[in-house]
Structure 1
Amino acid sequence: MRSTQRNGVPNSVLGRALTLLTAFRGGDDELSLAELHRRTGIAKPTAHRLLGELAGWDVVERTPTGVRLGLRLFELGHLVPRQRDLAEAAAPLLADLFEATHETVHLAVADGVEVVYLQKLVGPQGPTVPSRVGGRMPLHCTGVGKALLAFGPPGLVRRVLAGGLDRRTPRTLAAPGLLAAELARIRDRGVAFEYEESTVGITCVAAPVLDGTGTAVAAVSITGWVNRLDPDRFAPAVRTAALGLSRALRACE
């Protein structure tokens, strides 16, 4: 759809509508027409017309100051077979991991060069982390992301490197050589650790969920305060949960 563009804006109606929808980011409860124009480059009259049509389908909802994503998108998201089956299979395992650790638990998948979070169970004493169900983070600086990279399909690392390694914190692995060495260690250990690479003050341990070929289709993690959570201590529990989910998914194939 984006192959035909003018000044970075898709020419087709569908392309422009999708551009407006994907302009929303994590933490955006709503956006004004002016902000949507700034982010997308779509002219305000065109954006206003398209948003009106999307509102008619409940894909967006109008507010006194702008628009927000609508309930219909939420409903459609839950109809996606792969994510729905994955989330359903993971639910009891994630609940067990949460009860065993009382730390924030994540289930995530890779989409392009980013992580998309499918489930999140928030620990009662854990830090506030910038993740949310449906939210995105870079692959290279998150525990789940590095697990997905280390056991991902061929070419995924090249795509991440081609897009650049954004430095989110002083500890982010922003050099290709350092990231390659870290991924090799993850493949040896079977788990990935993050130490304040995505957010200052947090640490994480993650493990990949593998299909029958040994390729990661998801990742499971726990996250906590860097001065309180010992990732090595909880690594076996995280890996056990990921292995259990791997077996459950293969049994359904």
Structure 2
Amino acid sequence: MSAAGPGESVLTRAVRILEAFSQDEPALPVSEIARRAGLHVATASRLIAELVAHGLLVRDEQRLVRVGVRLWELASRASPALTLRERAMPFLEGVHDVVGHHVQLAVRDGEEVLFVERLSTPGSVVNYTRIAGRLPLHASSSGLVLLAHAPAMLREQVVEAGPLHAYTTATPAVPGRLRAQLAAIRRDGYAYCPGFVHEDALGIAAPVRDGTGDVVAAVGVVVPNDAAARTHLPVVRTAARGISRALGARPADAQGRGG
């Protein structure tokens, strides 16, 4: 993170502190939080103490700082992602029963895909995604579905951003190839991505629409990259239509193109 500017508000500094944590490092010492937030240790210590007093952060027995349950509570009260997750969960569980690997629900946040739910089974194929994890839109099946249905200006912004990160040789990281991939997704109604993020894994995703017909999420699976993968396509598309109907989409909208 860049250092805090002289005119930066207290709220902005508090947000920088909260952004210091990650799933791989959920507990940090004050000094490390200060470094990541670009703050003087004394300033970070004072703000952390206030956040702890409000329950947004907590200190554990080793005096390391963690995100508090209170923050999750406040974020969940009116979160659109929570409503989406609740409507989608029965369908995700059904897909998981059939597929037996990874099933995930994702939304777009800017130029990234954010995963709001994931169901997995021990021993499943490799998968880099996790709940509250992010990936660039161009790489994963869910991200590509969301990018394909994003505003045209954003699509061009991502396509022309370059150089896009290629996780494997199959990742559509070249503008022409990415444009063709997005056009195929809009035409067919799904993304089929063999080895885009990892050579051994294959992603399949389909769009989820709300009551206005807009694409608001993507439901997907990550399965072994083998000849049997395509058999999972119908169950993914059926789940996407079911979630869409649960969100109020009309049958024609829930079906989407390529349906």
TM-score, normalised by the number of residues in structure 1: 0.87
Which residue of the other structure, out of 16, 21, 36, is the alignment partner of 2:18? Answer: 21
Give the corresponding residue for 1:181.
180
Give 1:45 shift: 1.4
Q: Percent identity?
A: 38
Give the length in aligned residue pairs: 247
Give the corresponding residue for 1:106.
104
Give SS of 2:221's match: strand
List per-residue Cα deviations over 1:197-241 (Å, max 9, x = no partner): 2234221100010235543100001112324x7332111110110
- Contact 1:102/1:124 (8 A) holds in 2: no
1:135 aligns with 2:138: no
Give SS of 2:152's match: coil
Cα separation, 1, equivalents of 2:198 and 2:7: 34
Give the corresponding residue for 2:73.
75
Give 1:104 shift: 1.0
Report the AA paired with residue 220 of structure 2.
Answer: S
TM-score, normalised by the number of residues in structure 2: 0.85
1:235 aligns with 2:242: no
Aligned pairs for 1:187-206 (under 5 A) are 187-206=186-205
List per-residue Cα deviations over 1:28-80 (Å, max 9, x = no partner): 22223333233221222111111111111111122326312111122123223
- Contact 2:3/2:37 (8 A) holds in 1: no
List per-residue Cα deviations over 1:132-153 (Å, max 9, x = no partner): 2222221111111001111223
Give the corresponding residue for 2:55.
58
List per-residue Cα deviations over 1:122-174 (Å, max 9, x = no partner): 03431242222222221111111001111223323134346542233343222
Cα separation, 2, equivalents of 1:234 and 1:18: 41
Give the corresponding residue for 2:149.
151
Stretches of structure 1 lacking an aligned partner (at least 5 in a row): none
Give the corresponding residue for 1:30.
27
Give SS of 1:141's match: coil
Cα separation, 2, equivalents of 1:195 and 1:22: 33
Cα separation, 1, equivalents of 2:141 and 2:8: 38
Cα separation, 2, equivalents of 1:87 and 1:216: 15
Cα separation, 1, equivalents of 2:168 and 2:43: 38
Closer/same/farther in 2, CA of residues 230 and 26 from structure 1, 3 Å limit: farther
RMSD of aligned alpha carbons: 2.4
Cα separation, 1, equivalents of 2:218 and 2:159: 20
Give the corresponding residue for 2:207.
208
Report the AA paired with residue 55 of structure 1.
Answer: V
Q: Decide which moves more: 198-207 or 215-224.
A: 198-207
Q: Decide which moves more: 58-67 or 102-111.
A: 58-67
- Contact 1:195/1:226 (8 A) holds in 2: yes
Stretches of structure 2 lacking an aligned partner (at least 5 in a row): 251-259
